[in-house]
Amino acid sequence: MSPLSPAVRIGHVHLKVADLERSLAFYCGVLGFQLMQRFGAQAAFISAGGYHHHIGLNTWESLGGRPPPPGSTGLYHTAILYPDRPALADALRRLVEAGVTLEGAADHGVSEAIYLRDPDQNGVELYRDRPEAEWPRDAAGGLAMFTRPLDLEALLREAPSLA
C-alpha cells in the first residue's frame, strides 16, 4: 500500500459543547478566532484569517452536557498551529490576561507547546513548529523528539507589544 500524500492536512475540528456562548467567549474572546457563521444558539463556525472554519462548535447533542469522565475514549486534544514563536507568545499572553489555567508547557525539540482545557474540558494544544532543519536527530539521522519544560517567561517576552 502506498503512503498517504504529504499534501494531506486535517482541515478542521468540530466540537460538541454544552454552552455555545461560553465556548465562543473562549475561542473568539480569549484565543482570538473570528466568528464566520452562526446557526442560532446551536452552532458556530470560527476561523483564523477568514477561512470558512477551522473549528466548528455545536450543541446539537450536548446542550448542557458534561465532559466525558476520565478513563473514557474520545478526543485527547485539538492542536492549533501558530506560524511562529511571537504568535505563540501572543497566545500565551492572551491566556495569562484571561486567567486561563495551563495544564502544561513543553519543548518537544520539533515544536513548542502549551496545553490547557477549554470551557468544556476539551484538551487544547497551542503550538509552533520549529523549522525542519532544527529538528533533533539521532546518530542515524532519525527523529529524536523529547519532552522538556518550556520557559514560559522567555516565551512571553517575545509577545508582540500591544502599544
SS3 141: coil
Beta sheet of 111-117, edge-to-edge order: 78-82, 123-129, 111-117, 102-107, 148-149
What is the sign, positive or negative, of the torsion defined by CA atoms of 152, 149, 26, 131? positive
When computed from its CA atoms, the radius of gyration of the chain, rounded to whole angstroms, is 17
Residues 85-96: pLDDT tens digits? 999 999 999 999
What's the pTM value of the predicted model, to 2 decimals?
A: 0.92
Just give the CATH number of 11-61.
3.10.180.10
Can 11-61 and 76-163 be said to share one CATH topology?
yes
Residue from 48, 50, 54, 39 nearest 9 by CA: 54
The residue ranges of every structural domain in the chain are 11-61, 76-163
Residue 1 pLDDT > 70: yes
Q: How many CB atoms lie within 10 A of CB 1?
A: 3
Residues 60-116: pLDDT tens digits? 999 999 999 989 998 899 999 999 999 999 999 999 999 999 999 999 999 999 999
76-163 sits in which CATH class?
alpha beta
Q: How is residue 41 annotated by DSSP?
A: T
